[in-house]
């Protein structure tokens, strides 16, 4: 699929990041936090994993339904992908167990979290902003309100321990957009349509993230408020701030694809030809039916990536009411209200530092131009 994106559709991927962070990518274990607005955002994620040599060890907190997708879901099961039902009471135990297993992972891995929990739609956005309002949190324009449990438990359990070989050292706050308001789809990729992805990545050392669960949740809300401001800048300027570093595509995905095509597709075509030449009406009908069923299966799999066929998670008024009840945990709410003001102040502060840094980087960009690494 990476080969399809990079070589078949020729989609370009530009990375905006601080050059000082660049050498860490692919060389450390990290938690990646990404916005969830596009049908192929997972594929762009994989492309960056491939370019930094961590495709085989890219992990994600994925919805359980994806484990049943033929081939891809089964493969994920064996790749130690962490699955959740998106009901914390049921997920807590299994998610913690899976995270504990990840700690022994022998290679550098990236663990992806779509903290919004579902893809952005206008309806889901409206409902989630009602939740934000009830919680006294600032409204977001480009994101859904993040679900905090998964992030906090991940930060807690993957945090460094001296005796464990694999420890996460950073969170990569990542924001993905497509140029010229493109809305890319997997079908578009299969039809060879070229897109241009822009990914902004900010490396945040894990040490700077609070360990305490409620403070960690506040930290995550603040992060999403910052991400929202960044998206606002992108929508105005059409680019992210700072220098661009575009890691070039590598030939491995293409070679891998060609190898499997030669090994599987050639004998498969020969087999099909033989079946059609067998002369038996039964054999021909069965072959046609099997091909038809296989193409329906592939279409269904592609459908899994389509937002308008997405789940109703985050879409239900009922869920909102339940959570309104949960939110009546009164002092928690008032604490959030107080902290949201602190958050907003914090953002301003952070952004001042951030802008200063970006100005420094822009200087660097002007000096050196875009560099390929």
Ligand X SMILES: CC/C=C\C/C=C\C/C=C\C/C=C\C/C=C\C/C=C\CCC(=O)SCCNC(=O)CCNC(=O)[C@H](O)C(C)(C)COP(=O)(O)OP(=O)(O)OC[C@H]1O[C@@H](n2cnc3c(N)ncnc32)[C@H](O)[C@@H]1OP(=O)(O)O
Ligand Y SMILES: CCCCCCCCCCCCCCCC(=O)OC[C@@H](O)COP(=O)(O)O
Residues binding ligand X (CB under 6 A): 25, 32, 34, 42, 45-46, 48-49, 58, 60-63, 66, 84, 86-88, 91, 110, 112-115, 117, 127-128, 131, 145, 147-151, 172, 174, 201, 314, 319-320, 323, 326-327
Question: Is there a contact between 308 and 190 (Cβ–Cβ < 8 Å)?
Answer: no
In the bound state with ligand Y, the residue whose beta carbon lies nearer, of 187 and 204, is 187
Q: Which does 91 bind (CB under 5 to 8 A by kind): ligand Y, ligand X, none?
A: ligand X
Q: Which does 58 bind (CB under 5 to 8 A by kind): ligand Y, ligand X, none?
A: ligand X
Within 108-147, the residues that bind ligand Y by CB under 6 A are: 114, 118-119
CA angle 238, 13, 80 (to 5 degrees): 125
Question: Is there a contact between 91 and 313 (Cβ–Cβ < 8 Å)?
Answer: no
In the bound state with ligand X, the residue whose beta carbon lies nearer, of 129 and 347, is 129
Q: Which does 304 bind (CB under 5 to 8 A by kind): ligand X, ligand Y, none?
A: ligand Y
Q: Which does 327 bind (CB under 5 to 8 A by kind): ligand Y, ligand X, none?
A: ligand X
For residue 286, the minimal CB distance to ligand Y (Å) is: 22
In the bound state with ligand X, the residue whose beta carbon lies nearer, of 88 and 259, is 88
Site string for ligand Y, 37-56 (x = CB under 6 A): -----x--------------
Within 311-330, the residues that bind ligand Y by CB under 6 A are: 311, 313
Question: Is there a contact between 347 and 222 (Cβ–Cβ < 8 Å)?
Answer: yes
CA 260 – CA 272 distance, rounded (Å): 18
Q: What residues does 113 pair with on adjacent strands?
A: 33
Q: Are strands 196-205 and 168-178 parallel, antiparallel or unpaired?
A: antiparallel
For residue 39, the minimal CB distance to ligand Y (Å) is: 7
For residue 323, the minimal CB distance to ligand X (Å) is: 4
Q: Which does 301 bind (CB under 5 to 8 A by kind): ligand X, ligand Y, none?
A: ligand Y
Which has the closest alpha carbon to 228: 362, 96, 343?
Answer: 343
Within 273-312, the residues that bind ligand Y by CB under 6 A are: 298, 301-302, 304-305, 310-311
35: contact with ligand Y by CB under 6 A: no
Within 65-94, the residues that bind ligand Y by CB under 6 A are: 66, 69, 72
Summarize as ranges the residues that interact with ligand Y (CB under 6 A): 42, 63, 66, 69, 72, 114, 118-119, 298, 301-302, 304-305, 310-311, 313
């Amino acid at each position: 699929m990476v080969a399809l994106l990079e070589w078949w559709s020729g989609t370009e991927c530009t990375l905006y990041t601080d050059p000082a962070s660049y050498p860490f990518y692919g060389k450390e274990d990290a938690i990646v936090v990404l916005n969830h607005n596009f049908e192929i955002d997972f594929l762009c994620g994989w492309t960056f994993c491939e370019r930094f040599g961590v495709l085989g060890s890219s992990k994600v907190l994925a919805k359980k339904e994806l484990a049943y997708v033929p081939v891809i879901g089964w493969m994920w099961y064996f790749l130690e992908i962490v699955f959740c039902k998106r009901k914390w009471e049921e997920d807590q135990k299994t998610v913690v167990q899976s995270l504990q297993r990840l700690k022994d992972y022998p290679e550098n891995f990236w663990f992806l979290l779509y903290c919004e929990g579902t893809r952005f739609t206008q309806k889901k956005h409206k409902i989630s902003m009602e939740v934000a309002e009830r919680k006294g949190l600032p409204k977001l324009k480009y994101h859904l309100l993040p679900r905090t449990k998964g992030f906090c438990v991940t930060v807690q359990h993957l945090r460094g321990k001296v005796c464990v070989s694999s420890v996460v050292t950073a969170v990569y706050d990542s924001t993905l957009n497509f140029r010229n308001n493109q809305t890319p789809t997997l079908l578009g990729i299969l039809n060879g349509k070229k897109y241009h992805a822009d990914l902004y990545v900010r490396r945040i050392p894990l040490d700077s993230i609070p360990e305490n669960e409620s403070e960690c949740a506040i930290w995550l809300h603040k992060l999403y408020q910052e991400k929202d401001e960044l998206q606002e800048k992108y929508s105005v300027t059409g680019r992210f701030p700072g220098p661009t570093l575009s890691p070039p595509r590598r030939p491995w995905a293409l070679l891998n694809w060609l190898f499997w095509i030669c090994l599987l597709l050639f004998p498969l075509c020969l087999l099909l030809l033989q079946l059609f030449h067998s002369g038996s009406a039964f054999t021909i009908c069965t072959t046609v039916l099997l091909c038809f069923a296989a193409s329906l299966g592939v279409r269904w799999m592609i459908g899994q990536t389509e937002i308008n066929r997405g789940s109703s998670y985050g879409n239900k008024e009922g869920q909102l009411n339940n959570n309104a009840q949960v939110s009546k945990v009164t002092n928690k709410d008032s604490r959030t209200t107080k902290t949201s003001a602190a958050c907003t102040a914090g953002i301003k502060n952070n952004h001042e530092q951030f802008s200063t840094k970006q100005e420094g980087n822009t200087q660097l960009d002007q000096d050196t131009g875009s560099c390929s690494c």
